């Protein structure tokens, strides 16, 4: 297509309007986004509900298309409204301008993560309604806050409410990642997030002495053990081309704190780690190992968990899961190359899976560089328009499942 055709396309203009709403951390204002989505619901002639499971600053908006048999478990099309911070000086265009270049690349924070997906849902529903299509199952489009901060003000609390339970969700779709090649990843599970701080206490004193039992010795022992474990996972990933980052445990040192000045041996030093535990990790054995290292370090080392998520069973990808069968049939009929994977980070899908609801992370962003959270984040207009057709087929298959 040409720039003029893209610029006059109704769905691309809706998408760009959504991108121009700066629901950006650290202090996102969701009211303009809620107003925009309410207008979309009105144009779709569908009822909309707004819930506040955490507080009035963090709304959850749900648009509902009731199916022929409302008793059947519904299809949830989930997306988040919030986007990560930007550093405008590193962008070649204003991050919330939704500027489109001559090639059809639309630049904005949230273009990939994940306002494209929420817009795709609405565009697909608009096209399906215009065609007079109806479905057996009810379809809910949910737009949630705070996903970029772990969902603690959004899906994490919403899923435990009567309002969510009344949605009667049987299967959910959520975000995936872009792919530079033809293949599109489909995410069916996530690693277990443990973020922790080791706090080592020891003998304090003058920096000229060789004191025993110091916090520095203890924290060094912990650092060596954690980084050695990290190296085993680096080697595992490097030596097996079949593995992706989601198949191994990631360990990263993210904080080192303590001390007052260079000639004082401090009584306390701390080290913070972000770890994402692979699905094959025995969580209890892993925690026991961490505590054993604390003892081996000389005692006086405690672990404080910033986040300690439980294991969540991944979504089944076989004939036992009819939603997977319907999803896979749609992608096969569209001749899409898909690759099931474990997601590298964390999404709201984990809260659905925690409740036993099958969920697929999917963003049909092939032939697109991975730019989520990066500068000059963009999506191409032709890729966006193709994504609408992809979602029309997938949503139809899922919502017509008997």
Residue with tokens 């919403």: 158
Contact 12, 103 (CB under 8 A): no
- CA torsion 161→320→350→40, rounded to 10°? -70
**348 is written with which tokens?**
């709201």
Mean pLDDT of 137-153: 97
Q: What is the pLDDT of residue 15?
A: 98
Predicted confidence (pLDDT) at residue 73 exceeds the cutoff of 90: yes
Active site residues: 82, 147
CATH of 3-190+314-399, one of 3.40.50.150, 3.40.50.300, 3.40.630.10, 3.40.50.10300: 3.40.630.10
- pLDDT category, 383, cuts 50, 70, 90? very high
| Rounded distance between C-alpha atoms, residue 279 and residue 248, angstroms | 8
CATH architecture of the domain covering 192-278+280-308: 2-Layer Sandwich (3.30)
Predicted confidence (pLDDT) at residue 81 exceeds the cutoff of 90: yes
pLDDT tens, residue by residue, 20-53: 999 999 999 999 999 999 999 999 999 999 999 9
Q: What is the pLDDT of residue 52?
A: 98
- pLDDT category, 250, cuts 50, 70, 90? very high
Alpha helix segments (H runs only) across 54-137:
115-130
From 303, 294, 308, select the one nearest 198 (Cα to Cα): 303
**Where are the domains positioned within the chain?**
3-190+314-399, 192-278+280-308
Mean pLDDT of 173-187: 97
| Rounded distance between C-alpha atoms, residue 190 and residue 303, angstroms | 24
Cβ–Cβ contacts within 10 Å for residue 42, how many?
12
Q: What is the pLDDT of residue 363?
A: 98
Mean pLDDT of 307-324: 96
**59 is written with which tokens?**
């709304």
| Rounded distance between C-alpha atoms, residue 236 and residue 250, angstroms | 11
From 319, 312, 327, select the one nearest 357 (Cα to Cα): 312
Question: In three state form, how does the secondary structure of 30-60 look?
Answer: CHHHHHHHHHHHHHHCCCEEEECCCCCCCCE
Q: How much is the mean pLDDT over the chain?
A: 97
Residue with tokens 């980052």: 245
13 contact partners, CB below 8 Å, separation of at least 6:
7
Q: What is the pLDDT of residue 16?
A: 98
Mean pLDDT of 107-116: 98
Q: Are strands 359-362 and 169-174 parallel, antiparallel or unpaired?
A: parallel
pTM of the model: 0.92
| Rounded distance between C-alpha atoms, residue 31 and residue 12, angstroms | 22
Mean pLDDT of 214-242: 98
| Rounded distance between C-alpha atoms, residue 30 and residue 226, angstroms | 40
pLDDT tens, residue by residue, 318-350: 999 999 999 999 999 999 999 999 998 889 999
- CA torsion 26→31→33→37, rounded to 10°? 150
**400 is written with which tokens?**
């017509």
Contact 342, 246 (CB under 8 A): yes
Contact 368, 112 (CB under 8 A): yes
From the number of C-beta atoms within 10 Å of its C-beta (0-12, 13-18, 19+), residue 203 rates as middle
Q: What percent of the chain has pLDDT over 90?
A: 98
How far is CA 227 from each of CA 220, 234, 251, rounded to the nearest angstrom?
10, 10, 8
DSSP SS3 for 167: coil
Q: What is the pLDDT of residue 345?
A: 85
- pLDDT category, 68, cuts 50, 70, 90? very high
Q: What is the pLDDT of residue 48?
A: 98
Contact 28, 148 (CB under 8 A): no
Provide the phi-psi class of 151: left if phi over 0, else alpha when psi is between -120 and 50, else beta.
left
Q: What is the pLDDT of residue 1?
A: 81
Q: What is the pLDDT of residue 118?
A: 98
């Amino acid at each position: 297509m040409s720039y003029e055709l893209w610029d006059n396309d109704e769905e691309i203009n809706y998408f760009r309007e959504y991108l121009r709403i700066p629901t950006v951390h650290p202090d996102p204002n969701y009211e303009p986004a809620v107003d925009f989505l309410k207008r979309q619901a009105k144009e779709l002639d569908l009822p909309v509900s707004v819930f506040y499971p955490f507080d009035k600053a963090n709304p959850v908006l749900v648009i509902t298309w009731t199916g022929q048999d409302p008793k059947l478990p519904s299809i949830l099309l989930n997306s988040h409204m919030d986007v990560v911070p930007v550093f405008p000086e590193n962008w070649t265009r204003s991050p919330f301008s939704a500027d489109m270049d001559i090639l059809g690349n639309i630049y904005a924070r949230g273009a990939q993560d994940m306002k494209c997906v929420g817009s795709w849902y609405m565009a697909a529903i608009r096209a399906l309604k215009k065609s007079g299509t109806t479905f057996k199952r009810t379809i809910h489009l949910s737009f949630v806050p705070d996903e970029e901060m772990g969902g603690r003000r959004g899906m994490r609390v919403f899923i435990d409410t009567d309002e969510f339970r009344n949605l009667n969700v049987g299967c959910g779709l959520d975000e995936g990642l872009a792919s530079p090649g033809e293949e599109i990843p489909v995410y069916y599970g996530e690693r277990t997030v443990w973020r922790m701080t080791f706090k080592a206490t020891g003998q304090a004193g003058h920096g000229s002495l060789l004191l025993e039992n110091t916090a520095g010795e203890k924290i060094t022992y912990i650092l060596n053990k954690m980084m050695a474990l990290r190296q085993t996972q680096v080697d595992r990933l490097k030596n097996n081309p079949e593995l992706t980052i989601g198949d191994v445990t990631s360990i990263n040192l993210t904080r080192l704190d303590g001390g007052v000045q260079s000639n004082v041996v401090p009584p306390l030093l701390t080290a913070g780690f972000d770890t994402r535990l692979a699905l094959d990790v025995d969580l209890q054995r892993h925690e026991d190992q961490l505590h054993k290292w604390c003892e081996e370090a000389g005692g006086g080392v405690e672990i404080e968990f910033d986040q300690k998520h439980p294991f969540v069973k991944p979504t089944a990808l076989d004939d036992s899961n009819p939603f997977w069968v319907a999803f896979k049939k749609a992608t096969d009929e569209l001749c899409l190359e898909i690759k099931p994977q474990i997601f590298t980070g964390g999404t709201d899908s984990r809260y659905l899976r925690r409740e036993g609801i099958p969920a697929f992370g999917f963003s049909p962003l092939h032939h697109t560089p991975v730019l989520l959270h990066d500068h000059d984040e963009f999506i191409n207009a032709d890729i966006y328009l193709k994504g609408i057709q992809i979602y029309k087929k997938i949503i139809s298959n899922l919502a017509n499942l008997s």
